[in-house]
Amino acid sequence: MSAERSEQLRGRATSLLLRALDAFAFSSALVACAAALLAAAAARALGLALSPSVVALAFCGTVAIYCVDRVRDLARDAGSSPLRSAFVAAHRNALQLAAALGAAGALVAGAFAGVRALVLAVGVAALGLAHRRLKRFAWAKPLYLTGSWTAVCVGLPALAAASESAALDLTRLALVAAIIGGAVQANMILSNLRDAEGLAAHFGARRARSVAGVFCAGAFGLALLGAPALRALATLPLVMGAAVAAYRPGERYGAWIADGALLAGAALALFIAR
């Protein structure tokens, strides 16, 4: 095989890989997988049985909310996220279908997860649908987004267990919420910094990254100093801390690295806790 032919094949393989990674991230599949694995990791840390309905609810609900947001904010996002906007414009109908299927799947999964979990999911969904208006308030955006993610990833497994009359350690619940919430808050800071939105953009890159690092360090310390069941969650702030250190303003950084850190950290936590 000639060197020119080999170079062409490598170029095609690289192009296909980039397109696959972009599709995984820009379609919202990456963040949905992250939410599902975080819910599973939280359940393990809480000493609860892994509930397929909770995992499915976290995944389907995230798909529905994020796909709706991507399509509705297509014009507004074109400036800060041109690659994602081009993907959304080219696959608008598919994303709308994914949103509808995600909503239907979330309702079915919620019915199995229990009334309390379903009510929480509906409340978070309502907040998610109001995101387009709420994100205009720079001070509020990191708070309600982190709160929503923590509610889904920690609240859903806790409420599903409560519906089955399982006893919960409230101290452990608070620690798990703080660990996951700290990592998610760091992710939100990085995302807002890259998109030049929220408080992160006003503070500047250096200060925003420092604050994100503090959240990661705090969450890491809570995980290591907590009960043995919590130590597996240390991978989450650890991987997110690496993403903070590797910060780049590029769009693919936000899509692959910042959000991918949540997915990778949750996957490692589950692997360690098995």
pLDDT score for 78? 75
CB-side neighbour CA atoms (13 Å) of 32: 23
pLDDT band at 131 (very low <50, low <70, confident <90, very high): low
pLDDT in tens, 240-259: 999 999 988 888 888 889 99
pLDDT score for 8? 65
Which of the given ranges, 15-29, 30-44, 193-207, has the highest pLDDT on average?
Answer: 30-44
Helix (H, G, I), strand (E, B) or coil at 113: helix
pLDDT score for 181? 96
Distance CA(115)–CA(41), nearest Å, equals: 22
pLDDT in tens, 202-254: 667 788 889 999 999 999 999 998 888 899 999 999 999 999 999 888 888 88
pLDDT band at 50 (very low <50, low <70, confident <90, very high): confident
Output phi, psi for 64, to 5 deg.
-60, -50
Tokens of 85: 């906007």
Which value, to the nearest 10 degrees, does the dihedral of the CA atoms of residues 229, 233, 234, 237 take?
Answer: -160
- Give exposure, 47-85, as e/b (b: 16+ Cβ within 10 Å): ebeebebbbbbbbbbbbbbbbbbbbebbeebeeebeebb
pLDDT score for 96? 96
pLDDT in tens, 153-173: 999 999 998 766 556 788 899
Average pLDDT of the chain is: 87
pLDDT at 1 over 60: no
pLDDT at 67 over 80: yes
Identity at 104, one-letter amino acid code: A
Mean per-residue pLDDT, 65-93: 88
